[in-house]
Amino acid sequence: MNKRHIIGILFVLLISCIVICKELSTINIATLIKDANLINIFYCVLIFVILAFSFLCESFILVILNYEQNSLIPPFWSFVRVSLVQSLFNAITPMSTGGQPAQIVALKQMGISVGKATSVLLMKFIIYQISVFGIYIFAFVTCFQSILAKFDGIAVFIFIGFILHISSIIFLLFILFAHNFTVKLTKKIGNFLFYLIKSKKLSNWQNNVLNQIDNFYVEGEKLRSNKMKLFCCFCLTLLQLLCFYSVPFFILLALNLNCSWLAVTKINVMNTLFMSIVPIPGAEGGAEFGFQKLFSTFIDSKSLLVLALFLWRFATYFLEIILGLIFWTIKPKKHY
């Protein structure tokens, strides 16, 4: 962790304090305390159990992808550490760009080579993107129209986030299932741009993109050659995603509010799409704004809405930072 990451943590804390103070200024504190005293502890505990299960699923995915016959298997907690380190650096870097490099470092600290670590994470990325593809499509098709009718301003940004995500996933699918076509298309686009703009940087960009295409294709072929490993990782990824996206539902239950799991989960997916285009670490400010707008559909009381927001941000964001910092300081033994 370098100075830039420490600045990122301090920046996140500063913005969080501003947001918390702003939200508290809009409600009656006595009412908030009264609502907090009525929280259902059982569902609060269940929230953290679900989040723990989500991290365990991700850790098992790393174990499965890293597994090779007749090789030493590092202790499971080392892979849990990798997942938490990823969450930490996703939380403190813009657009969650720091998670994967941090995972490579964490895997290297276990004695796994950079090449093997990169291969494992590319396979994990492919599985994650294909898994989340169906969730995004289903939530968008069944939920976007109602959001557009009620919150047309935020709907525009959700639409942009959806298009960006789906476009990148479709491009990934082209790489995996139409590799030669994708390479030819990329070369033609690159050559056309180079014809318009004579630039060495553009040529380097084209070479980098072609290298990435080949890397994704190679890792995709590895996955397809081991269908059992692929199936297990897909199932675990879907469980991980469903657990994470279900957190707001259990928060509403903890606040003694009756709601539909499917409806709340779809709204949370929409909020995730909105957050994905906020270029601030942890989507600070944007995450809170999106949550309050979208979840006001289920919560009439302003104090309950703020309480739900605080619980959600602590469980899915600040807790990850705290646990990530703790596990980052605990260095694993090398096992290779």
Helix axis angle for 261-275 and 227-254, nearest 10°, is 100
In the prediction, which pLDDT does 63 show?
92
Per-residue pLDDT of the chain (336 residues; tens, 9 = 90+): 677 777 778 888 888 888 888 888 888 889 999 999 999 999 999 999 999 999 999 999 999 998 875 567 788 899 999 999 999 999 888 878 888 889 999 988 888 888 888 888 989 999 999 999 999 999 999 999 999 888 888 999 999 999 999 998 998 889 888 889 998 988 888 888 777 777 777 778 888 888 988 888 888 888 888 888 889 999 999 999 999 999 999 999 999 999 999 999 999 999 999 998 888 888 888 888 999 999 999 998 999 999 999 999 999 999 999 999 999 988 877 655
Asked whether 168 and 179 are in contact (CB, 8 A), the reply is no
At a CB cut-off of 8 Å and minimum separation 6, what does 8 contact? 92, 93, 98, 281
Q: Read off the tokens for 234.
A: 């897909």
Dist CA 1 CA 10 (whole Å): 13
Residue in 238, 293, 273, 266 with CA at minimum distance from that of residue 163:
273
Asked whether 202 and 175 are in contact (CB, 8 A), the reply is no
Using CA atoms, how far residue 265 sits from 135, 139, 304, 325, in Å, is 10, 9, 18, 29
Q: How many CB atoms lie within 10 A of CB 189?
A: 12
Can you give the pTM of this predicted structure? 0.90
In the prediction, which pLDDT does 73 show?
76
In the prediction, which pLDDT does 335 show?
58
In the prediction, which pLDDT does 42 show?
96
In the prediction, which pLDDT does 243 show?
95
Q: Please give the angle made by the CA atoms of 257, 262 and 263, to the nearest 5 degrees.
A: 65
Which amino acid, 166?
A: I
Using CA atoms, how far residue 188 sits from 29, 193, 203, 212, 217, in Å, is 61, 9, 12, 17, 19
Residue in 281, 268, 262, 253 with CA at minimum distance from that of residue 42:
253
In the prediction, which pLDDT does 290 show?
92
Supply φ then ψ for residue 95, to 5 degrees: 60, 25
Dist CA 267 CA 245 (whole Å): 9
